[in-house]
Amino acid sequence: MSFERHPACTHANAQKLRAIYADLTRIGEFAADDMVLYTASRDLRGDRGAGRVVGKQAAVAHERELIRLTGGTLVMDVHEIVANDQFGAVLGVLRAHLRGASLAMPFCGMWRFREGLITHHWENAHDPAATEAFLLGTTGGAAA
């Protein structure tokens, strides 16, 4: 069986996602002003508003905070990207090292686009509680 490179892997929105995962702070370059980002930890609290980041600048600030929490060691090791005019999906492993511990957590980022701009992003970590505990320094880390 042979496989051809599918156009969804080379779509302009896939290229945008590659740029973002290489440098999370670039999310603002490709986002609508009113974009909404749903954090990986959104379901860990009873507050329905928790875990919802609204606006391009707030999304950039959220990504900068993730980088800060890992002491600048955060790497999004991307395995697959598919995208079209409306949606994108990214699979990979989030990696970070902090306080002598390491994190390697599978993730799936889901994206919605409108007219070439990001309108929504859903962060999905395989184990959001373990990821948050690592970032907040309340555990020794998790392995993929």
Shortest CA distance to 120 belongs to which of 86, 94, 74? 86
pLDDT digits (tens, 9 = 90+) for 5-25: 566 678 999 999 999 999 999
Alpha carbons 91 and 80: distance in angstroms, whole number? 5
* Choice between 139 and 104, residue whose per-residue pLDDT is larger: 104
pTM, to two decimals = 0.86
User: How far is C-alpha 139 from the geometric centre of its chain's CA atoms?
Assistant: 21
% pLDDT > 90, the chain: 76
pLDDT band of residue 1 (cuts 50, 70, 90) is very low
Q: How far apart are CA 37 and CA 59, in angstroms?
A: 6
Which architecture does CATH list for 7-142?
Roll (3.10)
pLDDT at residue 7, rounded to an integer: 63
Domain boundaries, the chain: 7-142
Cβ–Cβ under 8 Å, residues 84 and 100? no
118 CB burial (10 A radius; 0-12, 13-18, 19+): buried
